[in-house]
Amino acid sequence: MTTRSAAIFALVASTAAIALPALAADVTPERLVNADKEPQNWLMNHRTYDGQRFSPLARINRDNVKGLKLAYAVPLGGGAGNEFNEATPLAEDGFLYVTDSWGVLYKIDARSGDVGRIVWRMDPKQERQQANRGAALWGNLVITPANGPARMIATDKETGKVVWETNVAFGAARMNNTGAPLVIKNKVLFGAAGSDAGWRGWIAALDAATGKREWLTYTIPAPGEPGHETWKGNNNAWQTGGGAVWLTGTYDPASNQTIWGTGNPVPMMDAYARPGDNLYTNSAISYDPDTGKMNWFFQYTPGDHWDYDEAHTHILIDGVVDGQPRKLITHSARNGFTYTFERSNGQVLLAKPYMDNINWTKGIDQKTGKPIDYDPNRDVQIYAGVAAPTPDKPVARLCPNRMGGANFWPTSYSPRTKLLYIPAMTAARTSPTAGNWPSAARIKAGTSARAAATGRRSAMKASSPWSIPSPAR
């Protein structure tokens, strides 16, 4: 078991023991809408539909947090070396549901607080490891992603038996299914990961009871669809354009809209191979969860050179702006800025840096939300002109680097302090051209040496989503 796995279960063990019932009730749509009324439980990936990841539990506080220690550890995996865990465990009445990098789903009895007992395992029989970020609950089912091939699997939460299993590649042979699904009403929403391999990203919904596909919406518009004009040139780059939806969205029951972020355009670091703004990559998109129809969108970094995808959480907040109550969305972007929007239409209210030494742009236009050096007359953006690679100058120093800023590790928001808490990586690096980018394996293997060379460090940033202080220096 990895260090990450142990840390997760040490935290959950400290809180799960307060729940006493032996059998959990069905997880109904009403329970999910009112998940904040069950403080002892964590019923979905973000705990609540708003994505705030705030727990009202108060037994651990600033006075006693220094006394935390490992309560117990539950070994996961065991099928190979270098296993890892990126899943958020779900907690319902003292039982935990978590996946590992083999896609194996575990039900763990954590009620005693002294030991975690594995009740059952569901093994999807993957041929290789793949990131797996967790489960969703609906009725008496635990619904999880799996790969090799890409699938969605519903497991009976009492018996551990598979109820339905759906192949979700939907024509994209190299598609990965990595994000925790989001159940809205009676549908299971999820996005396609892995479009860096060269295909069109999409978001889809399955019937939660049967696994039957209900709808699928592409994030890259085809000819004749709005936004296709932003894929310029004659090489049909849109057909392999990327725009993966690889992390879990949020949902506003009052307006019946669900907000998801999309990934980078493809080829990843070669904007000259796909001139134009490349909609709807690097975007926040509001969808109708019943039909998959787009309500509105906002694009953060048009014509991205740097893998600044924005698939991670868009948090819903009820706030006050200029003395008026507002329904807001906030997002700490990989490009180094925090954006706050009007929830009804995606109108930008403000954008401010949460990272130091940002150099790819000179700033964000507070009215449009676009970089102030965005030039609508250019097919390929250069922004500030110092970080964008060009055919004549293929290497440039980039801050933040291609990992961000924020990434798949989630930001949280406290309604008590009115602050966002943004886990971020502070780094700048010299960026090779697209053809010379290190492989994922090399990036992972070279972390220590690269950190020394680039000054990379991790940081936790606390920031107000509706005021604009200067970033810390």
- Decide if 46 is inside a domain: yes
From first to last of the 473 residues of the chain, give the pLDDT tens digit.
344 443 344 444 444 434 434 456 999 999 999 999 999 999 999 999 999 999 999 999 999 999 999 999 999 988 888 899 999 999 999 999 999 999 999 999 999 989 999 999 999 999 899 999 999 999 999 999 999 999 999 999 999 999 999 999 998 878 999 999 999 999 999 999 999 899 999 999 999 999 999 999 999 999 999 999 999 999 999 999 999 999 999 999 999 999 999 999 999 989 999 999 999 999 999 999 999 999 999 999 999 999 999 999 999 999 988 889 999 999 999 999 999 999 999 999 999 999 999 999 999 999 999 999 999 999 999 999 999 888 887 767 899 998 889 999 999 999 999 999 999 988 887 755 444 433 332 222 222 223 323 345 556 666 767 664 333 32
Catalytic residue from among 270, 307, 309, 365: 307
Cα–Cα distances (Å) from 326 to 332, 340, 354, 466, in that order, read: 19, 11, 22, 11
| Residue 162 placed within a domain | no
How far apart (Å, rounded) are the C-alpha atoms in residues 335 and 353? 9
Same domain? 114 vs 186: no
Q: Note whether 199 and 310 are same-domain residues.
A: yes
pLDDT of amino acid 457: 56
pLDDT at site 16: 40
| Domain contains 135 | no
Beta strand residue intervals within 90-191, DSSP E: 90-92, 95-99, 105-109, 117-122, 136-138, 141-146, 151-156, 162-167, 182-184, 187-191
Q: Are both 95 and 229 inside the same structural domain?
A: no
Is 174 found in the same domain as 123?
Answer: no
The tokens of 343 are what? 């929830």
Whether 307 is a known active-site residue: answer yes
Q: What is the pLDDT of residue 63?
A: 96
Identify the domain boundary among 76, 97, 128: 128
Q: What is the CATH number of the domain that holds 327?
A: 2.140.10.10
Residues 93 and 175 in one domain: no
Q: At CA 127, angle to CA 122 and CA 130, rounded to 5?
A: 80
Which domain does 236 fall in, by range?
168-463
pLDDT at 446: 28
Chosen domain end from 128, 159, 190: 128
Asked if residue 80 and residue 180 are part of one domain, the reply reads no
In the chain, how many domains are there?
Answer: 2
Residues 121 and 174 in one domain: no
